[in-house]
Amino acid sequence: MPILDELERRALFRLTRSLALIVVFVLTLGLVVGAVIFADDFVPRESPSVSYRKVWLQLHPQAAPAPDTSRTAQSEGDTDPAAVDLPVQLLPYFTSSDSKRALYEHLSRIGVDERKDYLAFAYLVVSASRKG
């Protein structure tokens, strides 16, 4: 029996050692493959800031109608340097000084050339929300 015990001990030792090696190899291979597959998700391919115009044009590929900019009104007594001419259709939403200040702070972060487009698209959003 001692020969059988010795053989069983060696066989079990080799079996457990090879099984552990296989498990470690499979787990390492899984981590490497997972890192390669999901690496694209962690690296941005474009600039993280997306302009509202790109989003709008992707959602609505047809040409967007321009708001009525022939009738614009500027609030009286506004000495804010970021003040801009608001389309008449947007004036009811910016009657309080807090909402105007919030709009002007937001517009001051946008480039000067994009402010007119931003207000035009804001008009489109307001008119779309009115339609239901």
Q: Which two tokens stand for residue 115?
A: 């402010």
Residue 72, pLDDT score: 45
Q: How far is CA 65 from CA 51, 60, 62, 92, 108, in A?
A: 18, 11, 9, 21, 25
Stretch (H or E) spanning 87? strand 86-87
pLDDT in tens, 81-99: 445 677 777 888 888 888 8
Q: SS3 for 8? A: helix
Closest CA to 59 of 126, 124, 132: 124
Distance of alpha carbon 95 from alpha carbon 93, whole angstroms: 6
Q: SS3 for 53? A: helix
Residue 80, pLDDT score: 46
List, for the chain, all residue ranges whose pLDDT scores fall below the cut of 50. Answer: 70-82
